[in-house]
Structure 1
């Protein structure tokens, strides 16, 4: 007969995250770039106090547990306070991606039934354009003080954040409830059809945030200063705003200025040791650093996700600047990072080039999540590093369904990701491609990710993207898009010759298109659907 444990049970709640930060690391700084420019500084203790004031203010507006509060905002201290106040009160924090099309933004606000919308002054024109189409919102709160308040003509009940919270007490009794209660809502980017909502529970967020402090994940500790460049409207900034106070790390929020020069200055002045963002952000940062002959004086680790990181960029970070890259994988439906690449003692015996290639894979599953790959019939495929199949995931922070969805996406308890992957004997997973992006040519598969990574190794290439285009003989053939680095010259023949030495002959693209820029979506991923629409007939 099983013996019951004699341990206390306490729900894992987001309110406890900030109260832990205030109690154990109360004097640790949070540094925030204001929307209008200057830096703002305070501590976790002050953040907790202001979060309680906001909780009281929201209650004063008539909101109750279960209501949704939206945000259209950058990474800043007022947005951080909302993270804790809204969810801690039993409400749902709905972070809206301002880079969505207006109609998609209107759709998710109404679908979520947001009662209040918090917004940065930067987005006042956006608010003006959508407010009339969001009838359930009873107040629009500008995340600002009175001096920098945005004027939003034609929108009723626009409030100033600082004036809203000013009269309220710093004391608030956080309610206790089931840890499975919904805490935060994030919608997919909606590349096909309307965006779908993932409703994260308190339990899922807290467990994922705790995993971020593990040595093989982000390794956050009181010795770190962490800069989440990934937006707070993108999967809760990979749960870093929660992980930082759990681990006692100093937190730096970059606000709206995400260009290479601004990020480098912030990293240096604030002595950032850990950063996190998508590859497009790091490409811009690296271009600035290279052009000006700069070095990183404090940064030791950077987490990368959202899309595949080229091995050439991993090598540059490690070899030229001494920065370790932690390459992860996750999606809206998995709360945040579910795998992470981190070199093991066995990997340290490899050559530097082999180590970079290892980091370019998406790594091992974080404790709390499980992975497998399946064939088209749903049968589990071997972990041999060669067999490719659809990646399936299950775990403590994986969705069971979509918000207000009619049908569960799960297959026998596993979530189908739509990614094609391999898993080797050591459990290391590598995304080979999105199922929709794999190029099928002459009965064989070409990984657009691997081909892009190879092209990115050319010293004159800033960005690369590959799509499959219909071909009368081969079904599909790869079409390569190149963005040249500023001041660099490279032509079609140079690129093809470079690739011929690095990939199979039948992988070499049939054509190269040079462009000034690539269409990038709200999560930093190249919008390949746009490229297909424009170039889908080039081989016809």
Structure 2
């Protein structure tokens, strides 16, 4: 029966009634803003009235081009709960991708941060933005801009009443939308129903998920424009916990100070964020003793990062995996009870894996012959997954639907192994795995090995064309400032070769290590190997290769 379905609105209803005084803290362009769930509920209702008066109807898409802050959070509940669809747009995407996304989604209204108005202007094209009837700047004033019609957020919501009669919605109603980054083609739209977001929220609240409760203070660093900030605005509200939003372009100092000043207990983001925070904390007087756990995903976290946070700061780093298509969380690497008695190295090895599937999901791993691989931690295959918060199609993309789904199964494109305990390890993306002499080499494993060296800040590995072996691995490494000052790159290169040889077959050894200033990043903060492949896929690069015994001799 509609109204009693699995929808988002009851999460806010519960928070405003049981935890009216719990804080929501936001770093904004205007400084630190703070209010409580009671005030948040009123402002969300005012926004709902404003959207209705602006002509937003059931099924319309409302776009946001925004950082992590309280106004964006208000849209997270107001837009889906009036029956519209919250469409978060990554402001770091190329202009042509933003144009395609807005046109494809047919957005009716666009919220934009003051600092991102110029970016949106750059992408604006009347022909692709034809559906947009209103722009709203997320602040108290409107900067100089050619975008129109346009108003500021506080004027947009301020004159409206805090009473709103929320409609009874079906759990099948579309509630959210996010597009994949489109690094290998046009972005693909993923729609989230009310039920998908409800189910994802409930699963992440469990101890096998993120284990958030009303004593937590949660700071999502993963952007709210990227897959619903991993669902945390919904799950934190459902738990009645305190929110802390780090605002526009936070640097390591901003994050460390918020942890200290607001008593953050749980936070989440990609590994590069925590490498920066760790470096800042080690070099400055800042107290992060409130912090209990960090969820890390988007790319593999170096084992050294997990160890350092654990041993030096008593912070548990939860390794996870997910996708835009999964709303997004699919696995978390919690230790099973008997594993808590293992020796330290064994526990870190297990926690470094992507972990156990969340309750409610199913998976299988399929090899090149279409057969399921055994759970032995060695055999590779592509991960297929299904469940109540996994999409079963792409918005308006029949070509992608045929290629990326097998019945109810989503073909993830991730190459994985599964150990005997059921822990998944991401070996590579199908497009990133290196095929050398007919054998697979995991770029992810090599990157983790290289990152274990104390002089290395960032490392990534790609396959470069090779006349004899088809592909050979080449590493790209960013040295720490101290290592660069010592000016000993060749010595570091030899040590990196030895690190790889210590744990992997000799033919896995990269044919070269190239030192660069920074690894290119995608719009979501992941290493962008496509850029490196475009720049360096040249057989001449391998003229001065590593020793010959590094090649796959028996291939």
Alignment TM-score > 0.5, same fold? yes
Residue 261 of structure 1: how far off its partner (Å)? 0.9
Q: Distance in 1 between matches of 2:407 and 2:110?
A: 38
Aligned partner of 2:461 in structure 1 is: 466
CA deviations over 1:136-175 (Å, ceiling 9, x no partner): 11111001013xx3221x2221111101111111111111
Asked if 1 retains the 8 angstrom alpha-carbon contact of 2:257 and 2:286, the reply is no
Aligned partner of 2:55 in structure 1 is: 62
Match status 1:71 vs 2:64: yes
Which one is further off, 484-493 or 371-380? 484-493
Residue 463 of structure 1: how far off its partner (Å)? 0.4
Q: How many residues align?
A: 530
Q: Distance in 1 between matches of 2:154 and 2:353?
A: 45
Which one is further off, 325-334 or 349-358? 349-358
Q: Distance in 1 between matches of 2:24 and 2:379?
A: 46
Return the match for 2:41 from 38, 48, 51.
48
Q: Distance in 1 between matches of 2:89 and 2:214?
A: 31
Q: Distance in 2 between matches of 1:173 and 1:279?
A: 42
Aligned partner of 2:546 in structure 1 is: none
Residue 210 of structure 1: how far off its partner (Å)? 1.6
Aligned partner of 1:20 in structure 2 is: 14
Asked if 2 retains the 8 angstrom alpha-carbon contact of 1:303 and 1:327, the reply is yes
Return the match for 2:273 from 278, 281, 287.
281
Asked if 1 retains the 8 angstrom alpha-carbon contact of 2:2 and 2:168, the reply is no
Which one is further off, 345-354 or 216-225? 345-354
Which one is further off, 492-501 or 82-91? 492-501
Residue 421 of structure 1: how far off its partner (Å)? 0.4
Residue 295 of structure 1: how far off its partner (Å)? 5.0
Partner SS for 1:82 = helix
Return the match for 2:350 from 358, 363, 366.
358
Which one is further off, 23-32 or 68-77? 23-32
Q: Distance in 1 between matches of 2:406 and 2:369?
A: 12
Aligned partner of 1:191 in structure 2 is: 183
Residue 258 of structure 1: how far off its partner (Å)? 2.2
Asked if 2 retains the 8 angstrom alpha-carbon contact of 1:301 and 1:325, the reply is yes
Q: Distance in 2 between matches of 1:421 and 1:130?
A: 37
CA deviations over 1:333-389 (Å, ceiling 9, x no partner): 111111110112221122212111111101111011111101123222212222110
Q: Distance in 2 between matches of 1:52 and 1:269?
A: 30
Residue 251 of structure 1: how far off its partner (Å)? 0.7
Q: Distance in 2 between matches of 1:186 and 1:35?
A: 25
Root mean square deviation of aligned Cα: 1.5
Asked if 2 retains the 8 angstrom alpha-carbon contact of 1:257 and 1:263, the reply is no
Match status 1:248 vs 2:240: yes
Asked if 2 retains the 8 angstrom alpha-carbon contact of 1:132 and 1:155, the reply is no
Aligned partner of 1:3 in structure 2 is: none
Asked if 2 retains the 8 angstrom alpha-carbon contact of 1:295 and 1:321, the reply is no
Return the match for 1:269 from 261, 270, 282.
261
Aligned partner of 1:420 in structure 2 is: 415
Residue 325 of structure 1: how far off its partner (Å)? 0.9
Match status 1:518 vs 2:513: no
Q: Distance in 2 between matches of 1:222 and 1:513?
A: 48
Partner SS for 2:483 = coil
Asked if 2 retains the 8 angstrom alpha-carbon contact of 1:472 and 1:539, the reply is no
Match status 1:164 vs 2:165: no
Which one is further off, 208-217 or 112-121? 208-217
Residue 502 of structure 1: how far off its partner (Å)? 3.3
Alignment of 1:310-321 (within 5 A): 310-321=302-313
Partner SS for 2:78 = helix
CA deviations over 1:93-136 (Å, ceiling 9, x no partner): 00000010001001101110001000000101112223334121
Which one is further off, 406-415 or 325-334? 406-415
Match status 1:173 vs 2:162: no
Q: Distance in 2 between matches of 1:258 and 1:449?
A: 27
Q: Distance in 2 between matches of 1:44 and 1:100?
A: 33
Q: Distance in 2 between matches of 1:211 and 1:23?
A: 23
Match status 1:386 vs 2:389: no
Name structure 1 gaps, 5 residues minimum. Answer: 1-6
Return the match for 1:94 from 76, 84, 87.
87
Partner SS for 2:405 = coil
Aligned partner of 2:542 in structure 1 is: 539
Asked if 1 retains the 8 angstrom alpha-carbon contact of 2:265 and 2:291, the reply is yes
Q: Distance in 2 between matches of 1:8 and 1:258?
A: 41
Aligned partner of 2:105 in structure 1 is: 112
Return the match for 1:434 from 429, 432, 455.
429
Which one is further off, 12-21 or 93-102? 12-21
What TM-score do you get using the length of structure 1 for normalisation? 0.96
Q: Distance in 1 between matches of 2:193 and 2:498?
A: 51
CA deviations over 1:77-99 (Å, ceiling 9, x no partner): 00000111111000010000001
4+ runs of 1 displaced by more than 3 Å?
none
Aligned partner of 1:529 in structure 2 is: 530
Return the match for 1:239 from 231, 242, 252.
231
Partner SS for 2:542 = coil
Residue 539 of structure 1: how far off its partner (Å)? 2.8
Partner SS for 1:399 = coil
Q: Distance in 2 between matches of 1:468 and 1:452?
A: 13
Name structure 2 gaps, 5 residues minimum. Answer: 544-555
Aligned partner of 2:549 in structure 1 is: none
Partner SS for 1:56 = helix
CA deviations over 1:275-309 (Å, ceiling 9, x no partner): 00011111111111122365521000000111111
